[in-house]
Amino acid sequence: METIDLRALPLTDAFARRIDYLRISVTDKCNLRCIYCMPAQGLPWIEREQLLRFEEIERLVRIFAGLGVTKIRLSGGEPLVRRDLHRLVAMIRAIDGIVDIALSTNGILLEEQLPALMSAGLTRVNVSLDTLREDRFEALARRPGLDRVLSGIDAAVRAGAIPVKINCVAMRGRNDDEIEAFARYARERDVAVRFIELMPVRENLGLSADAYIGAEEILERIASIEVLQPITGPPGNGPARYFGFANGRGSIGVISPLSHDYCERCNRVRLTADGRLRLCLFGENHLDLKKALRAGESDERLRERVAAAMLVKPERHHLRIGEASSQMRAFSEIGG
């Protein structure tokens, strides 16, 4: 029987989904403690020597690029707390086949680091922002800093990382009274405000059952004050649905990670800060690429491992609103 050389094909999983997008967590640490993502005391952080070094990340990206991955997103934790992140951006930029390097950030350190990141070759920026009110920012992120985030967004718009995408996790009773204010914010700027449905993870079980608001409700509320029209949306890699204003500059998006067409269109895998390749946003199945790297495996062997891992990428996640599961962990990474 003829055998197929997996290494010669673009990465495809067992459900014929083409995988061309790699999300890389460069650190698990963060300078905020958002109530839906991290406990107030932080997490048991990964030891420094267990973090992938930039040179190791670069080698892995080269391998993924050779398998048809074209898009990279740097994330965390908070990626901008990793020192000299711009150096990694430049290293990835130099790899043949990579056409897009995006960043997901909470925006606190964005304004000061943006010039170096943009000259290193960063193409796009997503900023998380769940409130436009300073008092509330501190309640939701457990740290101050709204003014810094807003300046970071303005700096990104000025720097031409347009359209800057803003990710807002909508929560009933916490920030849902600002949905209309966010819509006005988007109407006046070159930004896409994307409302993300709250995902239930171990860190937020007390919150998620009653705080969940579905995308349709969010859209109905905006439609009561603005005329929205479905649009194709700005370039990107994610499963957001977008709407433009009849009379305005930016756009609105909604992301429904709990719906299953989200999984049907999944084109991504992610690399954790300690070098495990996770095949699904949630779920424990992973490939320990750091172990393989540090054991001195050849590029060819690593390529084979990555291609074979795609065949066990799950068809879908099994999360449900307000329900606990041993799968859960805030590896939530959706702002694509």
Task: Count how many residues are written for the chain.
Answer: 336
- Taking the CB of residue 237, how many other CB atoms lie within 10 A of it? 19
Output 128 or 256, the one with its CB closest to ligand SF4. 128
- Scan residues 233-292 and list those touching ligand SAM (CB under 6 A): none
CA 172 to chain centre: 22
Question: By CB under 6 A, is residue 77 in contact with ligand SF4?
Answer: yes
Contact with ligand SF4 (CB under 6 A) among 106, 204, 251, 256: 106
Binding partner of residue 12 among ligand SF4, ligand SAM, none, CB cut-off 5 to 8 Å per kind: none
Question: By CB under 6 A, is residue 105 in contact with ligand SAM?
Answer: yes
What one-letter code names the amino acid at 308? A
**Which residue's entry shows tokens 């005329």?**
227
Question: By CB under 6 A, is residue 201 in contact with ligand SF4?
Answer: no
Min dist. Cβ of residue 62 to ligand SF4 (A):
27
Question: By CB under 6 A, is residue 143 in contact with ligand SF4?
Answer: no
Binding partner of residue 207 among ligand SAM, ligand SF4, none, CB cut-off 5 to 8 Å per kind: none
Concatenate the DSSP letters of all residues of 87-120 into one string: HHHHHHHTSTT--EEEEEE-STTHHHHHHHHHHH
Contact with ligand SAM (CB under 6 A) among 201, 271, 307, 319: 201
Question: By CB under 6 A, is residue 212 in contact with ligand SAM?
Answer: no
Question: By CB under 6 A, is residue 332 in contact with ligand SAM?
Answer: yes
Distance CA 280, CA 332 (A): 10
Residues contacting 26, CB < 8 A, separation 6+:
52, 57, 74, 75, 76, 77, 79, 82, 85, 88, 273
Using alpha carbons, select from 275, 170, 177 the residue that is nearest to residue 215.
170
Question: By CB under 6 A, is residue 178 in contact with ligand SAM?
Answer: no
Concatenate the DSSP letters of all residues of 213-248 into one string: --HHHHHHHHHTTS-EEEE--SS-SS--EEEEETT-
Quick check: 161 and 174 in contact, CB under 8 A?
no
Distance CA 246, CA 36 (A): 33
Output 195 or 245, the one with its CB closest to ligand SAM. 195
Output 30 or 287, the one with its CB closest to ligand SF4. 30
From 82-90, 198-206, 283-291, 305-313, span contacting ligand SAM (CB under 6 A): 198-206
Residues that bind ligand SAM (CB under 6 A): 30, 36-37, 75-76, 78, 104-106, 128, 167, 169, 196, 198-199, 201, 204, 330, 332-335
Residues that bind ligand SF4 (CB under 6 A): 30, 32-34, 37-38, 76-78, 106, 128
